[in-house]
Each structure stands twice: as C-alpha cells, then as structure tokens.
C-alpha cells in the first residue's frame, strides 16, 4: 500500500554534503542548488557524489532552502533519506491497523512519558493497556538482500531500548519497528559489529519482553510503499520466530 505520497518531486544529482543539513545538488539543467538534508546520521552508503536524488519542494517562505532531500539512488534502487518520513509512514500504517501495529486502540504520535522521554507512537486500548512504539529508520544494506541497523554508534538508540524495557517492566507493551526505506532486501540483521552497546541493549530489551519487527518499504517517485514484514535474523537469538509468534498474537 502507498503509505506516504511524496507529491511533486524534482530529480537531481548528488554533488556534495557540505554540512549536516546542507546538500549541494545539480539539477538536470545544470543549475546548482542547496537542499535541506533532513538526515543528520552518517547516511552510510548513500553519500555518493553523482548519485541521483529526489527532492521535494516547499512553498514555506520561512525556509532557507526550498528543496528537501527525500531519496537517493543506491545499488539501482531508490533509498529513503528523509528520517522524518518513517514516523509519518508508521503513523499512517498504525491508523490503518496494519501489522505489526495494534489492531485497535487510540493512536497518539510523539507522546511524552517518564521524565524527558518521547515515544514515537502510543496506542491505548479500550482496556487501558498501552503499547509504546519506537520507529527506527533503516537504509543501510551491508550484504545483498540484507538490511542492517544501526549504521553508526547510536547512544540514543540504546537509551531508547532501555526505556522500552522499563515500559514493559511497568506492565505496558513495547514495540520497536525497524522501518526499512528500500525495497531490495529480504531480511533484517542487527549490525552488532558497528554498535556493540546497541546489540547488548537489544538483547536486554528482547529478554525483558520488548517486541521487534522489521517492516520493508519500497521507495518510488510516487511515495513510500509498505511491502510488509520481513524476518529479523540475529544468530544469537531466534528473533525471527519470536517476532513472528508475537506479531501473530
């Protein structure tokens, strides 16, 4: 299903990522522009000068740069580069009651909890039971057909896993969705060699009862299409079976 339509896009060529939020792009007519890069991560595998990019255009007069990077072509497919889109896609799918999101309940995005934490989506069932849902953006392909996360050390990500484990300990449900913004993968694997602390946090969260799911999305100039869940392979824990059983439940 088309979970998030892009609207009109402009195609260009990646020239240089000058600063974290600024990307120089060459338009087809040779014009050089600076676009906003809404991805503050390392963008491993995507920072390829000469690669085709898709840009959305904003009419907001307050913006310094009218264009926003939406996708980069890598390995022959479009890869979503806007880290704000996964949350939008997840919210749309949650409202459509698509697995792995709860089949019923009140949906609220960006909900504060604890002292200073903020969860991406909170679903409250009619019985009052809450499901805290954290969305993680995935774009890296370490091996053909195998998506991986994280692409760099993410202390914040490990912190989120600990917070979700606390949520489960308090009697609520917690779900982490690895939303993969590329269609050329069949499995998801945790990149423990990149961030061992995140891997350890993953193990603790899994043992505590946090559920995990990997959701593959295909990117096209029309928008982001939700393909469905793919297996999480891990080698240390049989996450795939665990995930399948829990999602089915």
Should residue 116 be labelled a site residue for DNA when binding is judged by CB under 7 A?
yes
Q: Is residue 217 within 8 Å of 226, Cβ to Cβ? A: yes
CA 129 to chain centre: 25
**Count of residues engaged in binding DNA, rule: CB under 7 A:** 32
If DSSP codes are grouped into helix, strand and coil, which group holds residue 223? Answer: strand
Output the smallest distance, CB 43 to DNA, in A.
8
Distance (Å, rounded) from C-alpha 243 to C-alpha 202? 13
The answer to whether the Cα torsion of 66, 88, 78, 142 is positive or negative is positive
Please identify, using beta-carbon distances, which residue of 38 and 231 lies nearer to DNA.
Answer: 38
Q: 42, 77, 98, 244: which one contacts DNA (CB under 7 A)? A: 42
Task: Determine phi and psi for 192, rounding to 5 degrees.
Answer: -65, -30
Output the smallest distance, CB 115 to DNA, in A.
9
Residues 48-87: x where in contact with DNA by CB under 7 A, - otherwise, as a string = ----------x-x--xxx--x--------------xx---
Task: Determine phi and psi for 75, rounding to 5 degrees.
Answer: 55, 30
Should residue 36 be labelled a site residue for DNA when binding is judged by CB under 7 A?
yes
Q: How many helices (H) and strands (E) does the chain have?
A: 4, 17
Output the smallest distance, CB 136 to DNA, in A.
7
Instruction: Count Cα atoms within 13 angstroms, Cβ side, for 103.
Output: 3
Stretch that binds DNA, among 151-159, 166-174, 178-186, 227-235 (CB under 7 A): 151-159
What is the contact surface with DNA in residues (CB under 7 A)?
19-22, 36, 38, 40-42, 58, 60, 63-65, 68, 83-84, 88, 109-111, 116-118, 137, 151-154, 156-157, 160
């Amino acid at each position: 299903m088309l979970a998030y339509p892009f609207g009109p896009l402009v195609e260009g060529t990646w020239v240089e990522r000058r600063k974290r939020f600024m990307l120089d792009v060459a338009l087809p007519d040779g014009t050089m522009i600076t676009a906003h890069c809404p991805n503050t991560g390392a963008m491993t595998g995507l920072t390829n000068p000469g690669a085709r990019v898709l840009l959305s255009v904003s009419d907001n007069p307050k913006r310094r740069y009218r264009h926003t990077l939406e996708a980069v072509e890598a390995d022959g497919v479009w890869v979503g580069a806007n880290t704000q889109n996964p949350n939008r896609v997840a919210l749309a799918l949650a409202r459509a009651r698509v697995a792995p999101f709860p089949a019923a309940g009140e949906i609220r995005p960006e909900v504060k909890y604890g002292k200073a934490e903020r969860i991406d989506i909170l679903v409250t069932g009619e019985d009052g039971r809450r499901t805290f849902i954290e969305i993680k953006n995935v774009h890296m392909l370490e091996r053909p057909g195998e998506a991986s996360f994280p692409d760099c050390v993410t202390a914040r990500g490990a912190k989120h896993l600990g917070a979700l484990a606390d949520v489960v300990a308090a009697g609520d449900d917690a779900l982490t969705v690895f939303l993969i913004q590329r269609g050329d993968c069949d499995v998801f694997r945790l990149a423990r060699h990149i961030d061992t602390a995140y891997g350890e946090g993953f193990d603790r969260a899994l043992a505590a009862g946090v559920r995990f799911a990997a959701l593959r999305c295909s990117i096209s100039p029309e928008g982001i299409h939700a393909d469905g869940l793919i297996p999480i392979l891990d080698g240390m824990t049989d996450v795939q079976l665990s995930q399948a059983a829990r999602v089915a439940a």
